[in-house]
Amino acid sequence: MKDLRLCIMGFGAVGQGLAKVVLLKKENIKELYGVELKIVSVADSSTSAISTDGLDEEELIRVKKETGKLANYPEYGSNISGLDVLDECEYDVLLEATPTNIVDAEPARSLTLKAFEQGKDVVTSNKGHLALNFNELLDAALKNNVIFKFEASVGGTMPIINLAQETLPANNVESIVGILNGTTNYILSRMTSEGTSYENTLKESQQLGIAETDPTQDVEGIDAACKTVILANSVLGIPAKYDDVKVKGISDITSEAIYLADKEGYLIKLIAEVSKDNLEVSPRLVKKGSAFDINGTLNMATVTTDLSGKVTVRGIGAGSVETAAAMLTDLIHIIREKYKV
């Protein structure tokens, strides 16, 4: 039995989801691939827990929930944080789940580059460093001969990058058009079904925890634009940067506009388009009953290909365990390629 030593950076919703899915699936992975998953280091924003013998998944979650800091993990808690964690304990794969930062991509960018230099494979759920530094990261992974996977960064647990790369590799992907932000889709769906104003629906979404206190990244289309950049680079091979995306959010959509669209059989959705000719996030009219007619926080994407025509996928775009499941899928790809016994 071979150990596969995991380092988890970032221990918010996704990081804790990772601890849960590792606990749930490690027996299964042992059976299938002959590999024993072991979490050897976990860092939150300022502290960490580190043990070469492996940390207990439930204890990690309990300590974080009850005390707020992994420093309080019995025996193995410490004040080591950030890049230093990667030097402190030998590991095989970095699971990078720090918050998305689209100003300077930190700490995700430095953590990822350092892991690559150490010869480690990386799985990430982060959008910031991918949207801002895609080529730098891919080049560094290639140079260090390591695997870099990021399914969870687009569409949460809805497969889209692996869908294109693993289920449609015979095809040339010509475009991807989809709904890639669940928060705005929830707001627009509620405005349609309830006839409420944007302001009131946003407030309601914030009370439900669906929209964040500062909703800018979602409602102004920034989150969807990051995902557009990631898909452009990874699936269509377009060397796009964040500034190449035309971005318009939903904050000036009125209930009147939604009502008028509805009367004619249309819905207003925040649509992301990824094609050679157009990188765009903007509100658009879509037909009721079409593939774009999805409710709530769901995501969807239609992939247009040369041989297989249109393939459409829909699924859950966010969530702690769900996003972690997408990261575990990426980890399984790494196991199959490098560690399987």
SS3 176: strand
Judged by DSSP in three states, 179 sits in strand
The site for a copy of itself, by CB under 8 A, has a size of 43
Least separation in angstroms between residue 307's CB and a copy of itself is: 4
> How near is the Cβ of 26 to a copy of itself at its closest, in Å?
11
Binding positions for a copy of itself, 160-199, rule CB under 8 A: 162-163, 166-172
- Out of 157, 228, 234, 297, name the contact with a copy of itself by CB under 8 A: 157
**One residue of 42, 71, 286, 316 binding a copy of itself per CB under 8 A:** 316
CA nearest neighbour of 146 among 100, 92, 110: 92
Q: How far is the CB of 297 from a copy of itself (least distance, A)?
A: 11
**Nearer Cβ to a copy of itself, position 6 or 71?**
6
Site string for a copy of itself, 4-33 (x = CB under 8 A): -----------------x--xx--x-----
Residue appearing with tokens 């004619």: 264
123 near a copy of itself, judged by CB under 8 A: no
Binding characters for a copy of itself, 127-156, by CB under 8 A (x = yes): ------------------------x-----
Please, what is the minimum distance in Å from the beta carbon of residue 281 to a copy of itself? Answer: 23
- Alpha carbon distance 63, 42 (integer Å): 12
Active-site residue identified among 38, 120, 227, 269: 227
Q: What strands, in cross-sheet order, belong to the sheet with 2-9?
A: 77-78, 48-50, 35-43, 2-9, 93-96, 121-124, 148-149
At residue 300, what is the residue type? M
Q: 141 phi and psi, to 5 degrees? A: -65, -45
DSSP code string of 108-152: HHHHHHHHHHTT-EEEE--SHHHHHHHHHHHHHHHHTT--EE-GG
Helix, strand or coil, per DSSP, at residue 167: helix
Whether 227 is catalytic: yes
Looking from the CA of 224 toward its CB, the CA atoms found within 13 Å total: 35
Identify which of residues 117 and 337 has a Cβ nearer to a copy of itself in the complex.
337
Q: Which is nearer to a copy of itself, 246 or 276 (CB)?
A: 276
C-alpha 29/C-alpha 51 separation (Å) is: 21
- Token code pair at residue 142: 């290639």
Q: Which residues bind a copy of itself (CB under 8 A)?
A: 21, 24-25, 28, 151, 157-159, 162-163, 166-172, 288-289, 291, 293, 305-316, 321-322, 324-326, 328-329, 331-333
